[in-house]
């Protein structure tokens, strides 16, 4: 195992944060694209399965943002990697 400096650890942390933000932006865009399509055909909810959301913190932040935007999120199930099924309703 290699020991890294505090500066190297900080850079790794910054890169991880950028990756998390990019992942959450992709995730939010995907969800909203599906929601827009489902709403356009008269549905009141969209179900998502086998999609890895993120850590408990990311899930909580995402649910809070969806609530702020007027949507309801119901977590439906967990796979081997965590929450992977949910429903968004409006």
Pick the residue with more confidence: 4 or 79? 4
71 within 8 A of 35, measured Cβ to Cβ: yes
Task: Inform me whether the pLDDT recorded for 28 exceeds 80.
Answer: yes
Tell me what pLDDT residue 46 has: 98
C-alpha span between 76 and 3 (Å, rounded)? 41
Whether the full predicted model's pTM is greater than 0.85, yes or no, is: no
Residues with Cβ within 8 Å of 31's Cβ and at least 6 positions away in sequence, in order, are 46, 48, 88
Question: Which tens digits make up the pLDDT trace of 38-57?
Answer: 999 999 999 998 887 777 88
Pick the residue with more confidence: 26 or 44? 44
Average pLDDT, the chain: 89
């Amino acid at each position: 195992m290699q020991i890294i400096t505090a500066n190297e650890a900080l850079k790794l942390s910054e890169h991880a944060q950028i990756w998390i933000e990019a992942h959450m932006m992709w995730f939010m865009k995907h969800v909203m694209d599906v929601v827009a399509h489902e709403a356009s055909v008269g549905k009141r909810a969209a179900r998502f399965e086998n999609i890895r959301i993120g850590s408990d913190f990311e899930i909580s932040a995402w649910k809070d943002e969806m609530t702020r935007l007027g949507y309801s999120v119901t977590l439906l199930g967990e796979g081997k990697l965590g929450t992977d099924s949910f429903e968004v309703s409006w």
